[in-house]
Amino acid sequence: MSTVLKAQHVTKYFYDPEKFQVLKDITFEVRKGEFLSIVGKSGCGKSTLLYLLSTMDTDYEGDIEMAGVTLKGRNQDFLSHFRNEHLGFVFQFHFLLPEFTTLQNVMLPGLKLGKYSEKEVEERAMEKLRLIGMTEHARKPASKLSGGQQQRVAIARALINEPTIIMGDEPTGNLDKANTENVFEIFHELADKGQTIIAVTHDPDFAAGTDRIIEMSDGSIISEHKNS
Amino acid sequence: MNIRIAAQIAQTHLLAKKRQTLVAMLGVTFGIAMFITMISFMQGVNQFLEDSALDASPHVRIYNEVNTQRPSLIEQLNPGDFNVVYHQKPKDELARLKNGLAIAQRIEKEPGVLGVSPQVATQVFYNNGPIQLSGTISGVDIERENRLYNLASRLKSGSINALRTNPDGLIMGSTLARKLNVRTGDKVTITTPGGGTRILRVVGTFGFGVGTVDNTKSYANLSTVQEILQKDPSYITDIHLKMFDPLRAIPFGKKLRAEYGYYTEDWATANQAILAGEQIRNMLTYVVSITLLVVAGFGIYNIMNMTVVNKIKDIAILKATGFDGKDIVAIFLLQAAFIGLSGGLLGLGIGFGLSYLLSITPFEAGDFLSIRTFPVIFSSTYYVMGLVFGIVTTVLAGYFPSRKAAQVDPVSILRG
């Protein structure tokens, strides 16, 4: 399988309140179709690493290459477009736009990409909602959904542009057990279909269900192992 | 940048906070409505005053200024020496324009001239029984004078023709007639500074709505006044002329002065007080209107800032899903522009309504001004100006919060 993400010697400092090295020479690769989890204690730098990979944080040393594109030193507009096309996000605190309906939330990144007409984007969005079992809530305002439902919609939104990689920052961190299982189930189905997923988590059960686990401590990768 | 999605998001934001949108809109509405009302009214007043001044005064007046200052003979012979002359009398000089009638005929042929009226003007006393009032009398060719000042429409009683048929006729200012207690058909004795007297019959009264004219002035036939002054039929003291375009009168007056060597006075010089008042009112209008719009602008700035702060999570999520800075600016700028446009249009409507109400409000101005309601001008220029002002202020007020929104760092928000 081909490599979709390559991080080489990634190092990052925080400067406030004083200079502090968060990430120390991180090097790893992710292959297409892999379901990868990054684990570690709070403050080990795993979320920081994810936001560097997400292209939203550009202040680092080293190189990140994704889908064959070097991301170091690109301007914000390029990175926005890159995120739109290649990345899907699922955050810990669902983060839907509350004034919009479920369907509109899913459609927005698709409309932004502008690859398909509005009608096609809507059909695709409905298809993604069907995948996560939320079609009956499509016309509801996002603010009327429960936490677990919102997180599932966020996954549908992440999928709308058929991204190269889906990134999750504690995607189940804020959910109860039933919803956690539900979300995990969806991630697994996606991984089975060949979707590359990188998730940061401190839930050992979640990590155990992924293809590969990278464990971090104090800004370095301390171990890496594959689940069978 | 995709303007359609930006517009869709902007619309959703505006509709989600209807009351806030309405308050921001009303700020602009109020500013623009006041702007429209004030400028329509002020310009109406300006126009009215200018019109009444222009109606009652010539665009250019040509006259001969009798100069009493003249050097003595000894001064002329030994300039700069120690000369002492006591009690030198002024030279007896006539205020006449030499060849006045010929000059008038030539000016009349110049392009752009509406009409020329050569006349004899002199100060007189009006006597009716014990009442003595000072004033002026102008001997005119009433046809020509009518062409310049549209006298026929200014008549309160009598007729223009009556003056033509009656050599001893007099058309008198309405206020003056009232003070003298005379009406059309009554007789008035006039006395010139030179001592000549004559009894004239009032055949009409006029009112320009300008106090200084209605209070003092009368019209008589040119030949009659020449007779009272015991002058020959070519004796002319003033030439009044009007142009089709009042603004052209100012350079034209200077040209005439150079050509004929007599003094000329244009309407702008003669009515400096009115023009100065006009400038002050214009300034006042713009200052007040712009202040109102700036206040409305700050209101919008505040509301947009609040919206950006409230929507900071949404902005972060939009950026994370691939919307760039320009999209975010567009989203918030469109909201500001919508508020500006809709508030502005509403303001234009209300402004029109207020100016209309003002234009039908009765206004009793007495004898001095000939109006019955407040003067208001309805001109599309002011409405276009108001709308442009409104949109520019709101877009400026919206731009800074939008730029702030575009600079939101999604990482710091999303990490919580």
For A8-144, where are the alpha helices, taking DSSP H only?
46-53, 76-86, 102-113, 118-131
Residue B305's nearest CA partner among B413, B400, B410 is B400
Cα B276 from Cα A54, distance rounded (Å)? 67
List all residues of chain A from 129 to 158 with a beta carbon under 8 Å from chain B: 157
User: Looking at the complex, does the CB of residue A109 fall below 8 Å from at least one CB of chain B?
Assistant: yes
Q: Are B254 and B284 part of one and the same domain?
A: no
Which of B233, B251, B267 lies at the terminal end of a domain, its last residue?
Answer: B267
What is the pLDDT, as a whole number, of residue A110? Answer: 80
pLDDT at B254 over 80: yes
Judged by CB atoms closer than 8 Å, whether chains meet at A112 and B13 is answered as no
Cα B380 from Cα B375, distance rounded (Å)? 16
Interhelix angle A147-159/A177-192, nearest 10 degrees? 10
**pLDDT digit string, tens, across residues A9-24:** 878 888 878 888 787 8
Lowest mean pLDDT among A68-72, B40-44, B114-118, B139-143: A68-72
By the 8 A CB rule, do B395 and B329 touch?
A: no
Most confident of A126-130, B63-67, B93-97, B209-213: A126-130
Distance from CA of A42 to the nearest CA of B (A): 13
By the 8 A CB rule, do B204 and B161 touch?
A: no
Cα B380 from Cα A98, distance rounded (Å)? 43
pLDDT at A218 over 70: yes
List all residues of chain B from 325 to 344 with a beta carbon under 8 Å from chain A: 325-327
How confident is the model over A90-103, as a mean pLDDT?
Answer: 81
Chain A residues inside the 8 Å CB shell of B319: 56, 80
Cα B294 from Cα A24, distance rounded (Å)? 53
Which of B226, B252, B267 lies at the terminal end of a domain, its last residue?
Answer: B267
Burial class (CB in 10 A: 0-12, 13-18, 19+), B76: exposed
Chain B residues inside the 8 Å CB shell of A103: none
B336, part of any domain: yes
Chain B residues inside the 8 Å CB shell of A57: 411
User: Looking at the complex, does the CB of residue B415 fall below 8 Å from at least one CB of chain A?
Assistant: yes
Which of B235, B267, B299 lies at the terminal end of a domain, its last residue?
Answer: B267
Residue in A85, A95, A150 to test binding to B, most B beta-carbons within 10 Å: A95
By the 8 A CB rule, do B187 and B129 touch?
A: no
Chain A residues inside the 8 Å CB shell of B410: 56
Q: Are B106 and B194 part of one and the same domain?
A: yes
pLDDT at B203 over 90: yes
pLDDT at B39 over 70: yes
Cα B72 from Cα A52, distance rounded (Å)? 101
pLDDT at B198 over 80: yes
Q: Are B178 and B258 part of one and the same domain?
A: yes
Provide the percentage of residues in chain B whose pLDDT is more than 70: 97
> What CATH number does the domain containing A200 carry?
3.40.50.300
Return the percent helix, strand and coil in chain B, to nearest 5: 55, 15, 25
Cα A210 from Cα A197, distance rounded (Å)? 9
Cα A218 from Cα A216, distance rounded (Å)? 7
| Closest-approach residue (CA) in chain B for A55 | B320
Judged by CB atoms closer than 8 Å, whether chains meet at B13 and A99 is answered as yes
3-state secondary structure of B127: strand
3-state secondary structure of A23: strand
Q: Are B259 and B278 part of one and the same domain?
A: no
Q: What is the mean pLDDT of chain A?
A: 81
Q: What are phi and psi of B192, to 5 degrees?
A: -90, 160
Judged by CB atoms closer than 8 Å, whether chains meet at B322 and A96 is answered as no
List all residues of chain B from 55 to 84 with a beta carbon under 8 Å from chain A: none
Q: Are B260 and B290 part of one and the same domain?
A: no
User: Looking at the complex, does the CB of residue A80 fall below 8 Å from at least one CB of chain B?
Assistant: yes
By the 8 A CB rule, do B26 and B268 touch?
A: no
Residue with tokens 């790893």: A28
Q: Are B279 and B322 part of one and the same domain?
A: yes
Distance from CA of B16 to the nearest CA of A (A): 7
By the 8 A CB rule, do B415 and A47 touch?
A: yes
Provide the percentage of residues in chain B whose pLDDT is more than 90: 13
3-state secondary structure of B313: helix
Task: Work out how many CB contacts closer than 8 A connect A with B.
Answer: 77
How confident is the model over B79-100, as a mean pLDDT?
Answer: 80
Candidate from A99, A104, A161 with C-beta closest to B16: A99
| Closest-approach residue (CA) in chain A for B316 | A95
3-state secondary structure of B368: coil
| Closest-approach residue (CA) in chain A for B2 | A112
**pLDDT digit string, tens, across residues B133-175:** 999 999 999 888 888 888 888 888 888 888 888 888 999 998 8
Q: What are phi and psi of B253, to 5 degrees?
A: -60, -40
B247 pLDDT tier (thresholds 50, 70, 90): confident
User: Looking at the complex, does the CB of residue A51 fall below 8 Å from at least one CB of chain B?
Assistant: yes
Range of the domain at B186: 60-67+93-267
Q: Are B326 and B389 part of one and the same domain?
A: yes
How confident is the model over B38-44, as a mean pLDDT?
Answer: 87
Q: Are B45 and B106 part of one and the same domain?
A: no
Q: How many helices (H) and strands (E) does chain A have?
A: 7, 10
Residue A220's nearest CA partner among A72, A22, A14 is A22
Cα A177 from Cα B212, distance rounded (Å)? 96
Candidate from A81, A96, A100 with C-beta closest to B12: A100
Residue in B317, B323, B327, B408 to test binding to A, most A beta-carbons within 10 Å: B317
The number of angstroms, rounded, from the C-alpha of B385 to the middle of its chain's C-alpha atoms is 19
For B17-141, where are the alpha helices, taking DSSP H only?
18-56, 73-77, 100-108
**pLDDT digit string, tens, across residues B307-360:** 888 888 888 888 888 888 888 888 888 888 888 889 889 999 999 999 999 888
3-state secondary structure of B259: helix
User: Looking at the complex, does the CB of residue A227 fall below 8 Å from at least one CB of chain B?
Assistant: no
Q: Are B45 and B99 part of one and the same domain?
A: no
What is the pLDDT, as a whole number, of residue A50? Answer: 83
Judged by CB atoms closer than 8 Å, whether chains meet at A89 and B16 is answered as no
Chain A residues inside the 8 Å CB shell of B15: 99
User: Looking at the complex, does the CB of residue A95 fall below 8 Å from at least one CB of chain B?
Assistant: yes
B80, part of any domain: no
Q: Are B106 and B169 part of one and the same domain?
A: yes
Number of domains in chain A: 1
Please, what is the end-to-end C-alpha distance for chain A in angstroms?
A: 17
Cα B372 from Cα B3, distance rounded (Å)? 53
What is the pLDDT, as a whole number, of residue B138? Answer: 92
Cα B350 from Cα B341, distance rounded (Å)? 14
Q: Are B243 and B300 part of one and the same domain?
A: no
What is the pLDDT, as a whole number, of residue B172? Answer: 92
**pLDDT digit string, tens, across residues A36-52:** 888 888 778 878 888 88
Judged by CB atoms closer than 8 Å, whether chains meet at A114 and B2 is answered as yes
Q: Report the amino acid identity of residue B408.
A: V
Count of residues making up chain A: 228
Number of domains in chain B: 2
What is the pLDDT, as a whole number, of residue B218? Answer: 92
What is the pLDDT, as a whole number, of residue B370? Answer: 63
Q: What is the mean pLDDT of chain B?
A: 85
Candidate from A80, A97, A112 with C-beta closest to B317: A97
How confident is the model over B172-189, as a mean pLDDT?
Answer: 90
How confident is the model over B219-241, as a mean pLDDT?
Answer: 90
A94 pLDDT tier (thresholds 50, 70, 90): low
Q: Are B153 and B215 part of one and the same domain?
A: yes
User: Looking at the complex, does the CB of residue A174 fall below 8 Å from at least one CB of chain B?
Assistant: no
Chain B residues inside the 8 Å CB shell of A74: none
User: Looking at the complex, does the CB of residue B315 fall below 8 Å from at least one CB of chain A?
Assistant: no
Cα B52 from Cα A28, distance rounded (Å)? 89
Judged by CB atoms closer than 8 Å, whether chains meet at A108 and B4 is answered as no
CA Rg value for chain B: 33
Cα B11 from Cα B332, distance rounded (Å)? 10
**pLDDT digit string, tens, across residues B106-128:** 888 888 888 899 999 999 999 88
Range of the domain at A165: 3-226
Judged by CB atoms closer than 8 Å, whether chains meet at A56 and B411 is answered as yes
Judged by CB atoms closer than 8 Å, whether chains meet at A56 and B410 is answered as yes
What is the pLDDT, as a whole number, of residue B205? Answer: 92
Q: Report the amino acid identity of residue B95.
A: A
Chain A residues inside the 8 Å CB shell of B5: 108, 111-112
Cα B209 from Cα B215, distance rounded (Å)? 10
DSSP 8-state symbol, B89: P
Judged by CB atoms closer than 8 Å, whether chains meet at B322 and A112 is answered as yes
How confident is the model over B363-372, as a mean pLDDT?
Answer: 66
Residue with tokens 């988590």: A201
Indicate yes or no: pTM above 0.90.
no
By the 8 A CB rule, do B6 and B325 touch?
A: no
**pLDDT digit string, tens, across residues A98-113:** 888 888 888 888 888 8
